[in-house]
A and B are shown apart, each in its own frame.
Chain A
Amino acid sequence: MIGLILLPLVWASLAFVLGPGRGKWLAIAGLSAQTWFAFDLAQQISAGKAAIGHQVGGWGAPLGIDLAADGLSSAMLLLTQCVALPLAIYASAYYKRDDAAGAYFWPLMGFLIAGLNALFVSADFFNIYVTLELVGLAAVGLVAAGGGAQQIAAALRYLFATLVGSGLYLLGVALLYGAYGTVSIESVSLLVTAEAPRMVWIAFGLMVLGLMLKTALFPFHYWLPPAHGGSPAPVSALLSALVVKASFYLMLRLWIGPFAPLVAAAPWLAWGPAALGTLAIFWGSWQAIRTPRLKMLIAYSTVAQLGYLFLIFPLLNGPGAIQAGVMQAFAHGLAKAAMFVAAGVFIKATGQDTVAGLAGAVNRLPITLFAFGLAGVTLMGLPPSAGFLAKWQLIEAALNQGHWWLVLVVLSGGLLAAVYVFRVLRQAFLLAPVDTPVLPFTPVPRTLEWTAFALALTSVLLGLRGVELMRLIQAVGAVA
């Protein structure tokens, strides 16, 4: 577990010192080791250890900082490593030697992964704030790297959004310390009751608000489409697949952990995120159907798919809701990374970022198109993909608790996703008419295409092996 935090910090610093040429090999080597660590950790927890803790400095909370990995954390760690490694391989082939955007990609990615890993295992509120900033600033850096005016503007918009989000979260931490004298999650969990002082309620509200802003939940999504749709493909993939999941994970963790007594006392609170999630699904899908640009379509699709994650909040009392949420995070993470990777290949080949420009892709880039299609299968929720499994569990949980309208939302979301996915596929299958000039297709390194395929295939096959993931997530909340 410690290796997952220290190793990326080491290779990120060394990548900065040694430059991008050696940086990419350091990154791929480091990520491979980290993927092994993540699987090992997941194995230990599945085998019945329930949760693994570590007291940094040997002091123990509340004086020191505790790290804790339970089923939920190790699942997120697994997702992060499993998406980051293929993306690193993709990026190593994507960025040419003297590309300004690629010069500092490796240290930025390293710090991003280090921050994410540290976030998933931290059991201290203030430490989480520092990891949130690490992730946020790294993400902004990736968006801004080597970019022109539009990218810098998108990065600035994202920066302000992420800073306000962490600022709200930090105020919540300040109020918690003022109320309880500790920022350790475990200690606070023991102290929070349904009769908690109003300060704690406000702290909870602030933290949730800040995290919703960071997850781009409707109506706080305004920063996401320019940032994700305007960056180079590997960056968009990292952001959509991983960064937005981190703040969702935190919100979930707070909801079922330390603030559970507050939620139990006011269960109507859960309908807030669910309502916003519903709006996100419809609005995001609508914008995806309308936009002429390919990467923007995928970015709006992210806004929509994130909505599904928030539908689980009213269902957390019954079984299966957390599994549905994590499975959806996995499915979307893998599929969205695959989609952006495929889009990157398309854009490199056709030289333009429009859906219309894809005409004829079926002949030139069949593997990539197949990957895009597979990813679309997951987003639509067709069996046997992981997306199907996630939606199935979500529907099951909703029916068990009698919220049939959630089922309607999930199903219509799937239909809307089908509309925008087929929009792309239909365009790609069009053979270009004879009289219009065909834009030259520049050949693209094979690595890029196969990475897309690998990610997309995983997202579909995960549905078949979903049982093991479910068992991993069972061990939730053992360490507060």
Chain B
Amino acid sequence: MKVQRVFKRFVVGSAALAFSVLLIGVMLEPPAAGVDLRAAVSANLAVSGVAHPVTAVLLNFRGYDTLLEIAVLLLALIVILASGLEALSSRPRAVDPVLQTLAQLAAPSMIVVAVYLLWAGAFRPGGAFQAGAVLAAAGVLLHLTGLLPGWQAPTLKLRLGLTAGLLIFLAIAAAVLSQGALMQYPPRQAGMLILLIEAGFTVSLGLILAGLFLFISRDPGDPT
């Protein structure tokens, strides 16, 4: 048994080593003739509705990927709910008043930062994902300091909040279908539509990402 394991380690290890050497060697070769998308992105940036190229790619040119990606995130949360949650403990988490005060000061500023990130995404690195992540971090911080209890099975309101981002995106994507292709935002309204979609995303993402932690968090020392 031991020999088998050592042999397996040797085989896999040397294969991995050989593969990485091969890959590095291949990457050092001169590149093939290809397509340069940077020119296309810059050319169409003006009609995309935002000023930052990465946001434009993420929410306009390749917005379909973003649609599916938020579905993946929501799906992960649903799987976590489906695989079974343990009951919450009735004993409150031990709290440290200093930490709690800090958290109470930090959380509102984090919300403001999130809103700023959402708005700034149009001009510089930022946008819905970053904003949602900051919101979720605020939620986790509040939970860890005992100010926000862990979540059990989600209520109707929470479920609406979780799916709102995806549903808003679907609604807008389908609404413009009547005038052209899927997700073909009219150039004049593109900026506003993207902001609307991102706002929905931020709320949903914040809830989903926080939920990924809060649904499965159980206090240490709880009988499981």
Task: Give residues in A with beta carbon < 8 Å to B.
Answer: 2, 6, 9-10, 13-14, 16-17, 54-59, 62-65, 100, 103-104, 107-108, 111, 114-115, 118, 126-127, 130-131, 133-134, 137-138, 140-141, 144-147, 152, 155, 175, 178-182, 187, 191, 196-200, 202
Contacts and interface: CB of A to CB of B under 8 A. Distances in A.
A13 B160 CA distance: 9
B223 interface: no
List of 9 A-B pairs having minimum Cβ-Cβ separation, nearest first = A141-B79, A181-B34, A104-B82, A58-B184, A180-B34, A145-B82, A182-B35, A144-B83, A181-B35
B163 A16 contact: yes
Contact of A152 (B41, B60, B83, B181): B83
Nearest to B67: A9
Contacts of A175: 26
Given A141-B82, A197-B29, A202 B75 contact: no
Given A57-B184, A196-B32, A202-B22, A137 B63 contact: no
B1 interface: no
Contact of B68 (A59, A131, A141, A152): A131
A179 B30 CA distance: 9
A207 to B, nearest CB: 14
Interface residues of B, number: 52
Contact of B37 (A63, A115, A118): A63
Interface in B154-197: 156, 159-160, 162-163, 166-167, 170, 173-174, 177, 180-185
Interface of B: 22-23, 26-27, 29, 31-37, 40-41, 44, 60-65, 67-69, 71-72, 74-76, 78-79, 81-84, 156, 159-160, 162-163, 166-167, 170, 173-174, 177, 180-185
A433 B207 CA distance: 60
A131 B69 CA distance: 9
Given A56-B64, A104-B81, A141 B75 contact: yes
A181 B37 contact: yes
B84 A137 contact: no
Given A6-B170, A197-B29, A134 B63 contact: no
Contact of A145 (B69, B83, B177, B183): B83
A146 B160 CA distance: 23
A213 B221 CA distance: 40
A111 B75 contact: yes
Contacts of B177: 2
Given A146-B82, A155-B83, 15 more contacts: A2-B177, A10-B170, A16-B74, A16-B159, A56-B63, A56-B182, A63-B40, A104-B79, A111-B75, A114-B71, A126-B65, A127-B64, A130-B72, A144-B83, A175-B26
Contact of B182 (A54, A155, A187): A54
16 contacts: A6-B173, A6-B174, A9-B67, A13-B74, A17-B159, A62-B40, A111-B75, A127-B65, A130-B65, A130-B69, A137-B72, A138-B75, A144-B79, A180-B34, A191-B32, A197-B29
Contacts of A147: 83-84
A127 B41 CA distance: 18
Nearest to A105: B82
A63 B61 contact: yes
A361 B180 CA distance: 57
B34 A182 contact: yes
Contacts of B156: 17
B178 to A, nearest CB: 12
Contacts of A198: 26, 29
A279 to B, nearest CB: 19
Contacts of A14: 163
A199 B78 contact: no
A118 B72 CA distance: 13
Given A57-B184, A197-B29, A17 B160 contact: yes
Contacts of A196: 32
B20 to A, nearest CB: 12
Nearest to A100: B84
Nearest to A112: B75
Contacts of B159: 16-17
